[in-house]
Structure 1
Amino acid sequence: MTLPMIPPELASSEEAPIIMSVIKRSNDVRETGSHCHSRGQLLGATHGLISIDAGECRWVVPATHGVWIPPNVKHSLLGSHGPFNGWSIYVAEPACTDLPDKQCVLELSGLLREAVNRATLWEYKELEPAQIRLANVIIDEIRTMRNIPLGLPLPKDTRSLKVAMALSDNPGDDRCLEDWAVWAGVSSRTLRRLFTKETGFNFTEWRQRARLLKSLEMLAAGKNVTTIALDLNYENVSAFIALFRRTFGATPGHYKNMMRGGLNNHLNP
């Protein structure tokens, strides 16, 4: 388990600058325990993937996107997929008023990437006028970036959560809802109702989303498309590619290339 990107006292400081930006690289996988702070945070990877848990949702996030976490929301970095190459922006709480009030995944703009790169050179002290103007550009970009549905909402009931966590660990498990209900000690009717009520997805849709997020991890690990489709129990490779493209707007191969590039050419520590 590793420490947060910046000291906790800075992450909740009212005296520190309106924006603080940091980039870290490590040869090790990075994980942070559950914590919260009064500043809002936008974080992501310079390349590859990171898994984030915040509030009642879990994300697997490629380097083309970032996770926005509003002030005072508990969150953790479940892990980087491979050596950690990541960045974070911390936004003072008063400046978060017009920013998203729910944790979400945002599609990053080129302007934001360059602004973050510049802001990492600043010291954590009072900003100069030109720096304040750029900080406001960063805040405007966070406000206007497109929200992307990469999250996997988790159910709250202990029985449905038990099934959800098992499927998160192994989304290729092809047991039907009735079999899962027996395993969790709940009726199939109740399990079906709980998934729909607590996640907004029926059981089949939720499992499909879990598989797609797992496929991002597998792409980042270098696995080929055929292997991924077979391991996740898709009917065939074409069915996997079609669903992936429909959900993410790109083929698995193209997405893999984007993750390799990510922000690496823009953000240099």
Structure 2
Amino acid sequence: MKTSRQPLSRNRQAPAQRRDLPHDRVDRPLAAFARDYADGEAVPRHAHDRAQLLYATRGVMRIATDAAAFVVPPGHALWMPAAEPHRVGIEGPVAMRALFLRADAAAVGPSATTVLAVSPLLRELILAATREPLEWDEAGRGGHLAALILDEIARAPGLPFGVPEPRDPRLCRVAEGLRADPASPLRLEDWAEAAGASPRTLERLFLAETGMGFARWRQRLRLSEAAARLARGEPPARAAAAVGYASAPAFGAAFRAAFGITPGGAR
């Protein structure tokens, strides 16, 4: 799979390139894929014929679909339905261990792109699957691993690491500004002039396009960015300050409410 160091493009007009991998065609319920990436690499917008479970044993993946942007720290995986266009950005050296699932096997997963918590058992199963041949023995060890993997995927809880992607150009100006500086204290009223719309219009558009108001969307963005920083080893207090939280207890409470773990646990 060729990679590029170009930043993740947000151009939704370009057709998604089809990645032709044997993992998309092998006659097995699932196929495991292993690839290591260097810091700063990026995989351009593409799609696969099969559903994927994208998991990294090390490093942080940023994966953008046309609808949302996802931060995937270690200990989590991204469930990606078949034919979903997406781009992948790499932060730090990443050891990706992915699964490609045939349509019948993919029925155990969510219907939409979702970040899943990976249990210790699922982690070891994924690693074991990468050591099996592409056409593993369905009546042997490979078949047993596949059955357990599908059961663990079905049980895996989803987590709100995704940040819905706005489409309106006025909202995109606000979103890009906050991605560049998650700690920005600017209110929606402050963004209005730069966006070219009234605060009321922006609030209405945020709700219509992302399913949440501006304040909630900004919090989701900040917590996702904090999760990426924690995964890179930053202390919780520094990660909190970098995304705009002046109070460590307030950050800890918000992070725990969103993700079910403490910032220290995420680190």
Q: Normalising by structure 2, what TM-score?
A: 0.86
Measure how far apart 1:157 and its partner are. Answer: 1.5
Deviations 1:33-76 (A, max 9, x none): 11111111001210332111124011111211110001111111
User: Which residue of the partner structure matches residue 265 of structure 1?
Assistant: none
Measure how far apart 1:251 and its partner are. Answer: 2.4
- Kept in 1, the 8 Å contact 2:136–2:143? The answer is no
Structure 1: stretches of 5+ with no match in the other structure: 257-269
3-state SS in 2 of match to 1:41: strand
3-state SS in 2 of match to 1:129: coil
3-state SS in 1 of match to 2:112: coil
Q: Does 1:121 align with 2:148?
A: no
User: Which residue of the partner structure matches residue 70 of structure 2?
Assistant: 59
User: Which residue of the partner structure matches residue 13 of structure 2?
Assistant: none
Q: Does 1:182 align with 2:193?
A: yes
User: Which residue of the partner structure matches residue 20 of structure 2?
Assistant: 8
Measure how far apart 1:106 and its partner are. Answer: 0.9
Q: RMSD between aligned alpha carbons?
A: 2.0
Q: Do the aligned partners of residues 92 and 227 (structure 1) sit closer, same or farther apart at CA in structure 2, a change above 3 Å counting?
A: same
Q: Distance in 2 between matches of 1:11 and 1:80?
A: 22
Q: Do the aligned partners of residues 126 and 252 (structure 1) sit closer, same or farther apart at CA in structure 2, a change above 3 Å counting?
A: closer
3-state SS in 2 of match to 1:48: strand
Identify the range of structure 1 (193-202 vs 96-105) with the bigger mean alpha-carbon deviation. Answer: 96-105
Structure with greater contact order relative to length (CA < 8 Å, sep ≥ 6):
1
Q: Distance in 1 between matches of 2:136 and 2:36?
A: 26
Q: Which amino acid aligns with 2:20?
A: P
- Kept in 2, the 8 Å contact 1:55–1:74? The answer is yes
Aligned length: 251
Deviations 1:135-180 (A, max 9, x none): 1222222222111111111122221122112212321111110111
3-state SS in 2 of match to 1:100: coil
Measure how far apart 1:205 and its partner are. Answer: 0.9
User: Which residue of the partner structure matches residue 36 of structure 2?
Assistant: 25
Identify the range of structure 1 (64-73 vs 107-116) with the bigger mean alpha-carbon deviation. Answer: 107-116
Deviations 1:200-224 (A, max 9, x none): 2110111111111111222233333
Q: Do the aligned partners of residues 200 and 51 (structure 1) sit closer, same or farther apart at CA in structure 2, a change above 3 Å counting?
A: same
User: Which residue of the partner structure matches residue 262 of structure 1?
Assistant: none
3-state SS in 2 of match to 1:181: helix
Q: Does 1:101 align with 2:101?
A: no
User: Which residue of the partner structure matches residue 70 of structure 1?
Assistant: 81
Return the match for 1:251 from 250, 254, 262. 262
Identify the range of structure 1 (119-128 vs 169-178) with the bigger mean alpha-carbon deviation. Answer: 119-128
Q: Which amino acid aligns with 1:82?
A: G
Return the match for 1:170 from 167, 181, 193. 181
Q: Distance in 2 between matches of 1:110 and 1:229?
A: 27
Q: Normalising by structure 1, what TM-score?
A: 0.85
